[in-house]
Structures are given as C-alpha cells and as structure tokens.
Structure 1
Amino acid sequence: MNVSIKPRGVAWLFEATSPDAVFSPEKLTDEHRLIRRTADEFVAHEVMPAVDRLESKDWDFVRGLVRKCGDLGLIGTDVPEQFDGLALDKVSSLIVSESVGRLPSWAVTFGGQTGLSITPVLCFGTPEQKQKYLPRLVSGEMIGAYALSETGSGSDALGARCRAVRQQDGSFILSGEKMWITNGGFADVFTVFAKVHDDGPSAGGDPGGKFTAFLVERAFPGVSTGREEHKLGLHGSSTVPLNLQEVRLPADAVLGKIGKGHKVAFNVLNYGRFKLAAMCSGGARFVIAESAKYASERRQFGRTLGEFGAIRYKLAEMTAREYAVESMLFRIAGLLDSAIAGRDDAAAALSALEEFAVEASIVKVAGSEMLDYVVDENV
C-alpha cells in the first residue's frame, strides 16, 4: 500500500530528499508561464512608466493600479474561487511576487494588499468576514493595511499598548496608536492588534490584556491617519501612523479568537516573509539584467566593460546568488503546495504556513541580503 507522507518543516536538515520531490522552475506549467507573462507585462507597461506618479504619492493613481491588478487576477492568485480568487497554487503567487519586485515601492504596496491584508482574513476570518471583505480586497476595490507595530513594540509585538475595552453589550472601545503602517494613507480596512480588557480604561499598558486581532474600517468614528513618513527610500509607498481614539467596534470585528492574536500576527508574517523574499529575487534579477546590458554597451579602453574579467566575475557572482535564492523560493513554494494538496480550506493553508515558518524566515534573510549585495555591486 502506498502511503503519501506530507513534507515536514526543516526536514531538509536531517532527511535526504529525492530530486523529483523538489519543485524547480523547470517544472513550471503553461499556466504558470502565462501568469508570469501577464504580471511582467503589467509591471512593464503600467507600473514602470509611472514611477514619478508613484513617488509623488498620487494615491488615487495607486488605487487605480491595485484595481487593474485585481482585474487581471494578480491579487487573488491563491484565494478560493468563492471569494473571486483564482484558486491557484503558491507557485503562482511566488511568480507574481517576483514580477512586482522590479519596482520596490510598488512591491511594498502590492505585498501589503496580498500578504498582509488578504491572508489574515482568509486564514482567520469567519464566513461572514470572508464574504464581506475578501471579494473587495481581491478585486482591488478595497485597500487593506496591517497595523501591528507601535513606537514601543516593534519586534516585541506582544508588548503592544493599544487597548480594546470590552463593553457589556459585547462591543469594544479601541484606543491607541500604531506606527509605520504600509498602505495606511489610503487603506479602507486595517488589521489592528490590541490587548483586550474587561475592566475599563486604566493608565499605562496592562500586560494582562489578551492580545487580539480586529478588523477596523477607516469609516469607523475615531479612526484617522497621520502624515506620511519621509523615508530614505520606497517613496512610492504609503507609510503613516494610525490613530485610534475611542473607536467603537462591534463584537464581530474580532479576527480569530480573543487572546489568540499572536497566531494571526505571526502566521501572516510567515507568509509575508516568503513573498518579500520573492520580491527581492525579482528585483535582483531586474537589476542584474540592467547591469549586464550596460556592461555590453559601455566601452572603455577599446572594448566593452563585459569583456573585462572583473566585471564578468561580478555579473556571475550576482547571478549565482540570485539563482540560489530563487531555487530556495521554488522549493518552499513546492513544499507549501504539497502540504496543502487535496484541500482548499483555510485550515490547510494555515497549517502549511506554520509548518514551514523556519524556511520562510531563512529565505527572507537570504533574499534581502542577496538583494543588498546585488545592488551594492551594481553601484
């Protein structure tokens, strides 16, 4: 009897793996190639020519780009069809993330919509929450944002001081401030993390509160955002503080379970790390192509730069490092798809994200360090 064994997280540390069990770009299907072509053409024709408009913070224009992405199906590649997604695999999502990585500002905006806004609702939302938010997030009609960080709790997310005081009727009064919110300047709905208390407001942060996720709409009274941050880079992405002044939330605004906000926060970030690494890979590939083109055209001492050994070495080293990260990404995507195979429910996706959290973290570090190396060598 043949028994199908699901892959396990970090098994690569202590188990031999058959080459046939590793997903690689050579195994891409015609459908995968069509998705890549669609994403590449969208970025080349719609995004790259509009850098100035993005960096001038024309958020109406950015919303329009997100909507066009939705029309092409690029936002909901791995979202079930019942919520207007394409119900495709994680490899497809990886491919799209690589394509959008060509322009970092746009990649951040796109990632905030797909990885940080859709994933929490898809994995932890109630049927009613999914039906209310997912179709509009997938289409790009609604923009989402993820509000976890505070001035005193960045890496220590569980140290949040934002408070949600539960009322006798089951509703909550939410107060606090969140910082560095991607897409925050034009988002319609925020995934906000706060500590739930049953005893009314008190001074300071009470460590006894139950860390919980909420879905908070901009239209709710008391919700506002501050001025755009003046960043060193990523000028075409929105980064703002989120102010919450006694915002009354209905009982059904809770995302997941009260006191289990850490499961929402950390699993969403697991998938976000994987997608961010894919964007780093796509960005590096674009930069390498531009540098190779320049090296073939620029002439010094009677020959092109590409004919000099030192330049050839630089190009080869950059390509090898990018290829290594790309290989890691496709293997992880294959592992996620194998873990989910035969199921399309949120529990399967969540289980896979938890299982391969270490791999997602490793490839994110490898991807960002590789991109840093590639950009530095190009300069």
Structure 2
Amino acid sequence: MTRIAGGSFIIEEPDDQRVFTPEDLTEEQRMIAQTTEDFVEGEIAPHDEAIEKLNYELTVELLRKAGELGLLGADVPEAYGGLGLDKISSTLIGEKLSKASSFALSVGAHVGIGTLPIVYFGTKEQKERYLPELATGEKLAAYCLTEPSSGSDALAAKTTARLSDDGKHYILNGAKQFITNAGFADLFIVYAKVDGAGFSAFIVERTMEGVGFGPEEKKMGIKGSSTRPLILDNVHVPVEQLLGEAGKGHLIAFNILNIGRYKLAAGCLGAAKDAIALSAKYANERKQFGRLISSFPLIGGKLADMNIRTFVLESMVYRTAGLFEEGLGDLDHASPQIGIQSAKAIAEYAIECSINKVFGSETLDFVADEGVQIHGGYGYIQEYRIERIYRDSRINRIFEGTNEINRLLIPGTLFKRALKGELPLMQKAMELQEELMELMPAGQSFEEPLEQEAHLIAMAKKIFLMLGAQAVQAYQMAIEQEQEILACLADLMIAVYAMESALLRARKLLAASGGGAKAQNAVDMTVSFVHDTFGKVDALAKEALCAMAEGDVLRTQLAILKKLTRVSPVNRIKLKRAIAARVVEAGKYVV
C-alpha cells in the first residue's frame, strides 16, 4: 500500500482501517506492556522516594535492570544487540514507564534522544561499538543541544569544533545547558559548529580529557532526574566520532527531536491515565456532606473531561505510532544510505509529531490540574502522588521544543511541503474557493452514529484551507512574521487531528462491536469532544479572519464561515454524566 503522506490528514479523508488504534495491539505487544508495568511496580515503585532524592547509583542500577529486561533496546536493531521491536511496542514501553516519574525521564533521554542518533545516523563501526552496550544499559547516553544562550534557536549554538592540525581530532569548546542524565551518562551526543559555521554532531565520551560538568540544577519538578551543564574544554574527539556529515548536524538534531516529541506525548498519556486513576480512587473514598464526592456532578464532570481528553490523546499517539511503523519499520540499518533514509522517513511525520507534543503536554497539564482540584487541599500535599504529577507535568510544554515553537512549525512545515509539491494543498484550496462561491445547502440531517461529527471535521478542514489560503495570499513570504495567525492555523490543525483520531477509533470500535454497547463510551467521548472542539474552531477562525480582513471582505468571509460552522447542538451534560459514571465505576481511565 502507498504510505500515508505526513500532513495529508488536513486535506484527505483517511481510511478507518489504515489507522492504528490501541484495540489493534497484538498479544505480544500487550505482553511487552505488561512486562513494563510489572517492572515499574516491582522495581521502581519500592525505591520511589530514594530516586526522587537524586540517587545516581540507584538510578544507574535500575537502568541496567531495565536493560536486562530489554526495555532499553526496543529501538536498537537485533544486529547491534537490541530487540529491534516495532514502533508500537516502543511507544507502549514509553507510555507504561511514565508511572516511574523521574526515572521514566532518565530512561527516555537514554533510549530516545541519547541512543537514536546512533541508531539512525551512525556508521556501521559506530553502531557496533556503542549500541550493544547502550541496549543493555552498560553504557548510558545523554543529548546535548541546548546552550545558555540558545534554546529554541538551536542553530545559534556557540560551541565550536576545530579540526586539529594533524586531521585526527575535532577539538570541542563550549558549554551545554540542562543536560538530562549528565550526572552519570557515559556518552553524549554533542552539537557544535565546525570552524564556527558547520553545525555538526559528535559522539563524546565522559572519560575524554576536558569533559566537565556544572552542579545539579534545582528544579521545580522531575527532581529524581539528573540535570547538569556539560562543559567542553579543548576536548579532542577522534574524527571517527563525527556523527553523520560535517555541517549536516541539523538533520540529526531536528529529526531526533521529532521522534522525541511523539515519545513525549506517549509519556504524557501514561501520566494522564495515572492521574485519572488516582483522582477516581480519591473521589470514590472521600466523603463530604454525607456523600462520596464522586457522586457530585461537578466532580463527575471533571473526571469525564479528564477521561475524554486522555482518550483523544491515546487515539492520536497510537495513530502516529502506526505511521512511524509504516515509515521506519522496514529501514535497512546496514545500508550506507541509512542516515538519508532515516532523515526522510522521520521528517515525513514532523507535523504529526509536533501536534502530538503540543496536545499531549497540554492535556496532561489539564488532567493533572483537575486531579489536584478533585483532591482539594490534599492535592497540594507532597504525600499525595497527584502533587508530583502536577509539578512534573509542567516541563513537558518546554521540552523538545517549546509549544510556541511547535505551533509555528506545524503550519510552517505544511506550507513548505506544499511548495515542494509533496502535498496538493494549493490545489485543494483552489477547489474549495470554487465550492464556497456556490450556494450551500440549507441544512443536513444526520441519522447514523458519528455522522454529524464526521461532517463537522470535514468542515473544520475546509475552514483551515480557507484561512490558510487567505493567510498566504495576504502575507506571502512575510507570513513567518505573523506568529498569531500561524498559531491559529496550528491550533486548527491540532483540532482536526485530535477530533479525527477519536472519530476513526470510535468508528473502528463501533464496527468491531457490531454497533453494540461496548463502543458506547468511545462514541459518547468522541461526540462530546468534537462538539466542544468545533466551537473552538469557530472562535479561532473568527479571530484569524478579523486579523486578515476588514469591511465588506470580512463580512463576506464571516458569512461563509457561518455556513461552514452550522451545527446541531448535543446534550453534552448528559453525555458527560454517562462518561463520568463509567469512570467512577471503573475507578480508572476507561475506553
């Protein structure tokens, strides 16, 4: 089958059966998830307090135990000592590890941004030398991109690499900031500019002379993870440890961040599920006014909203994992072209990765915040786990590119793909212009389950195309400076991907259950989310149109928008009461 093009969801109608959902998990994948859960419960949970006090030795010991189970080698090919698992399985591991709090971050930094640069961009010799020990945890990795003066503007890095006179070493000088795992990592993927210009990546070993570290940062959350500056003082790195090509380090940096973004969303998913379980349990035990607080509609409404957003996030994360499995699953890691092939395959879904990152981090923040509210005063006390989830969640909107940067990347990447001819975006926009000139039907009746929701999503796509065409026409190349408009377009794309991911999953569940009660909760959550989100789509569109036009032109566009946003309201209070009842009964996240 032809691979699904990245970003194509905004202009096409996906086939339900091409979209991967958690219900499609194989027995083997479920066993991997269970193994991870058992490891967290049996090995990590008993040491939780010690880990939070930043015990290096304990963290390293537990990382090696994770390596013995294969949890560090999921993405490492078998030829280099890993398990070479599919991308669904590695996503599951990331989700299930999230309950391990700071330890999960230590694992994520090692297996993701620390190890994957070598997996996808290393030479055969580099892979043979480093990957077997990284897969077992015998050696641990860290990723070094951020600097004191360059965070979001990564290419403004000041760390330098100069080729030695004998041509055998690159001599690195500079400092990297906020490096996760710096306290104990053995290998560092370091970005530096060759001769001050060619942005490049290097594999630096801890034992090299001139490698030093600053003190541990005192952080708001994720306190059990090591975060220190890396200092490079005339570090002689053998030329064989240049990763990829000199001057092409941006291909590694940005594509590894893409993977990091969707993996971060998987971690946010696991933490959100944990927060729901904690909150439902508390609500089912806490009494006020002679009743369990779970019986009060406003508390139930919170649990319902938490569950709905988590269901949508789960649908998005595994939809994206399925895309990566198609795109990366058959890469030939022995090929000399593996770096080029990897960069192309990862970049294909850069838009979806940014969407997952933004929606996932903001969903967890919402869920954690509501979880604290349900706990009341106890939610503010460290003895209750929800307090830590709340503190730890805040970093996710900053990690892997801030949400503001990712919002600029989402439409920016789409427009670039369209200009390269990789997506027929402009063609679709022109077709829409002709359609909008015609009289639209006065109204539609929707008889089948999810029929109106599918229609609303289709309208949201048309709204995006209308606004996108207007923005390009109004600003042309200067559109990059119109950050508010780009953010509106990004939020529209996020809304479409979120609504559609939930819809496709609910449809699959309906089909599998023969339209039975087993799919009712998924249908209710999808209906509630789509109607809530479609109202936000309308508001975003009006905000953007008012910024781009005025007078008669604006009035015409608002009239068109009004036709596109016709909706028959649903009783969301009734829907959410039904969803809340299911969450309360289950005492945890429920599909």
Above 0.5 in TM-score? yes
Number of the residue aligned with 1:166: 163
Indicate conservation of the 8 Å contact 2:67/2:137, yes or no. Answer: yes
Query: Does residue 1:33 correspond to 2:18, yes or no?
Result: no
Number of the residue aligned with 1:203: none
Compare the two structures and name the one with the higher strand fraction.
Answer: 1
Note the residue ranges of structure 2 that are not aligned, 5 or more in a row: 373-591
Number of the residue aligned with 1:182: 180
Q: 1:349 to 1:41 in 2, by over 3 A?
A: farther
The 10-residue stretch of structure 1 (25-34 or 335-344) with the greater mean CA deviation from structure 2? 335-344
Q: Which secondary structure does the structure 1 equivalent of 2:236 belong to?
A: strand
Q: Return the TM-score normalized by structure 1.
A: 0.94
Q: 1:267 to 1:253 in 2, by over 3 A?
A: same
How many Å separate the matches in 2 of 1:148 and 1:78?
A: 21
Number of the residue aligned with 1:272: 260
How many Å separate the matches in 1 of 2:357 and 2:50?
A: 29
How many Å separate the matches in 1 of 2:342 and 2:281?
A: 41
How many Å separate the matches in 2 of 1:340 and 1:232?
A: 36
Indicate conservation of the 8 Å contact 1:122/1:134, yes or no. Answer: yes
Instruction: State the AA in 2 paired with 1:325.
Output: L
The Cα shift of 1:349 comes to 4.2
How many Å separate the matches in 1 of 2:173 and 2:277?
A: 48
Note the residue ranges of structure 1 that are not aligned, 5 or more in a row: 198-205
Query: Does residue 1:322 correspond to 2:310, yes or no?
Result: yes
After superposition, where does 1:109-120 map in structure 2 within 5 Å? Answer: 109-120=106-117
Query: Does residue 1:58 correspond to 2:55, yes or no?
Result: yes
Q: Which secondary structure does the structure 1 equivalent of 2:115 belong to?
A: helix
Instruction: State the AA in 1 paired with 2:53.
Output: S
The Cα shift of 1:52 comes to 1.4
Q: 1:157 to 1:343 in 2, by over 3 A?
A: closer
How many Å separate the matches in 2 of 1:48 and 1:299?
A: 28
After superposition, where does 1:128-139 map in structure 2 within 5 Å? Answer: 128-139=125-136
How many Å separate the matches in 2 of 1:366 and 1:139?
A: 32
Number of the residue aligned with 2:326: 338
How many Å separate the matches in 1 of 2:157 and 2:135?
A: 29
Summarize deviations over 1:73-115 as a string: whole Å, max 9, x none: 1111122101111111110011001011113311211111011
The Cα shift of 1:262 comes to 0.4
The Cα shift of 1:340 comes to 3.0
How many Å separate the matches in 1 of 2:159 and 2:274?
A: 40
Choose the corresponding residue for 2:86, options 86, 89, 92.
89
Instruction: State the AA in 2 paired with 1:352.
Output: A
Instruction: State the AA in 1 paired with 2:237.
Output: L
Choose the corresponding residue for 2:368, options 361, 375, 379.
375
After superposition, where does 1:233-312 map in structure 2 within 5 Å? Answer: 233-312=221-300
Query: Does residue 1:70 correspond to 2:58, yes or no?
Result: no
Number of the residue aligned with 2:351: 358
Percent identity for Structure 1 against Structure 2: 47
Instruction: State the AA in 2 paired with 1:49.
Output: P
Q: 1:34 to 1:349 in 2, by over 3 A?
A: farther
The Cα shift of 1:376 comes to 0.6
Number of the residue aligned with 1:145: 142
Instruction: State the AA in 1 paired with 2:119.
Output: L
Q: Which has the higher contact order (CA 8 A, sep 6+)?
A: 1
Q: Which secondary structure does the structure 2 equivalent of 1:191 belong to?
A: strand
Indicate conservation of the 8 Å contact 1:78/1:92, yes or no. Answer: no
Instruction: State the AA in 2 paired with 1:259.
Output: G
Q: Which secondary structure does the structure 2 equivalent of 1:244 belong to?
A: strand
Number of the residue aligned with 1:24: 21
Q: Tell me how large the CA RMSD over aligned residues is.
A: 1.1
Indicate conservation of the 8 Å contact 2:327/2:346, yes or no. Answer: no
Q: Which secondary structure does the structure 2 equivalent of 1:178 belong to?
A: strand
Number of the residue aligned with 2:476: none
Indicate conservation of the 8 Å contact 1:103/1:283, yes or no. Answer: no
Q: Which secondary structure does the structure 1 equivalent of 2:32 belong to?
A: helix
Instruction: State the AA in 1 paired with 2:100.
Output: L
Q: Which secondary structure does the structure 1 equivalent of 2:147 belong to?
A: coil
The Cα shift of 1:344 comes to 4.2
Summarize deviations over 1:318-338 as a string: whole Å, max 9, x none: 000011011000000111111
Aligned residue pair count = 366
Q: Which secondary structure does the structure 2 equivalent of 1:102 belong to?
A: helix
Q: Which secondary structure does the structure 2 equivalent of 1:76 belong to?
A: coil
The Cα shift of 1:225 comes to 1.0
Rg: which structure is higher?
A: 2
The Cα shift of 1:297 comes to 1.2
Indicate conservation of the 8 Å contact 1:80/1:344, yes or no. Answer: no
Compare the two structures and name the one with the higher helix fraction.
Answer: 2
Indicate conservation of the 8 Å contact 2:164/2:170, yes or no. Answer: yes
Summarize deviations over 1:202-258 as a string: whole Å, max 9, x none: xxxx4xx11110000010000011110000111000000001110111111100100
The Cα shift of 1:341 comes to 4.4
Instruction: State the AA in 1 paired with 2:363.
Output: M
How many Å separate the matches in 2 of 1:351 and 1:362?
A: 19
The 10-residue stretch of structure 1 (259-268 or 47-56) with the greater mean CA deviation from structure 2? 47-56
Indicate conservation of the 8 Å contact 1:325/1:367, yes or no. Answer: yes
The 10-residue stretch of structure 1 (168-177 or 243-252) with the greater mean CA deviation from structure 2? 168-177
Q: Which secondary structure does the structure 2 equivalent of 1:334 belong to?
A: helix
The Cα shift of 1:168 comes to 2.6
Indicate conservation of the 8 Å contact 1:340/1:349, yes or no. Answer: yes
Instruction: State the AA in 2 paired with 1:174.
Output: L
How many Å separate the matches in 1 of 2:310 and 2:205?
A: 39
